[in-house]
Amino acid sequence: MIGGARQPGEDGPPPVPPSHQGCAIRPVRVHLPAQRGELRDRHEDGHHLHHLVWRLGPGVRVCSSAVLGGGIGPRAWILNAQVPGGYPRLDPDRHLAEIAASEGLTGPGAGLMTAADVAAYTTGHDGGVTATVTTGLGVRGWAAVPESATRAPHRPGTVNIVLTLPAALSDAALVNAVATATEAKVQALLDAGLDCSGTPTDAVCVAAPEPGPDGGEPFAGPRSTWGARIARAVHTAVLAGARQYGDLS
């Protein structure tokens, strides 16, 4: 298993020229680990921001809690976009769609949002599974809190997890994969010495091939073959991101 923070010497795909619709976007020359994400940047309202794009193509479906394109279904792309702290817009789904259009992304997709530095993403790899994580922990806490604490407005600080794997999963296994990723995230945060389960706006995206007649792998819990790989990859990426965040904060 390998993973952790992005290394500047690693090779990756070259940037793909955008179609320049809506948001001003220019390529960023970076080297990605062995995964299908592309790091891009844009300028919005005086802010220099980054986003990650996965161009999945046909034959892939995604299970996610994303603000745009959440749920289970075929998806052609995934977008994880950085926004400024104190995000002022009330239409994040439309905003993500604008960024997607600027990248020339078409068809159904899934869009996530974070105020974390997307360029500081971390990765974990295990047995064909790649976890890519952006880590923002400024509003971290526990999931179960008194009712009064749930009324506070939530900022998009966010731990976003995007998983890609080569094995088709059944519907139940896709849902199970999201649960396994969440368990591994909490384990990594505790291992990093943080007293929290995450942030109020954390999101998970799992991308896997469409299942064939056999219906796909039936299980993705932490003791199944693919669930164990998911758990290890997520734990590696989140632990690296949490430690990196602690070093910067």
Cα distance between residue 114 and residue 133, in whole Å: 11
pLDDT band at 107 (very low <50, low <70, confident <90, very high): very high
Residue 127 gets which letter from DSSP?
T
- Say which residues have a Cβ less than 8 Å from residue 156's Cβ, sequence separation at least 6: 83, 87, 92, 113, 114, 115, 136, 201
Domains along the chain with CATH numbers: 2-248 (3.60.70)
pLDDT of amino acid 85: 86
Instruction: Identify residue 121 by its one-letter amino acid code.
Output: Y
Q: What is the pLDDT of residue 64?
A: 97
Over residues 134-166, the pLDDT tens digits come to 999 988 999 998 887 666 555 556 899 999 999
The more confident residue out of 53 and 24 is: 53
Q: pLDDT over 70 for what percent of the chain?
A: 81
Q: Give the model confidence (pLDDT) of 174-188 as tens digits.
A: 999 999 999 999 999
Q: Biggest alpha carbon distance in the chain?
A: 51
Residues 59 and 171: their CA atoms lie apart, in Å, by 15
Segment (H or E) for 104: none
pTM: 0.83
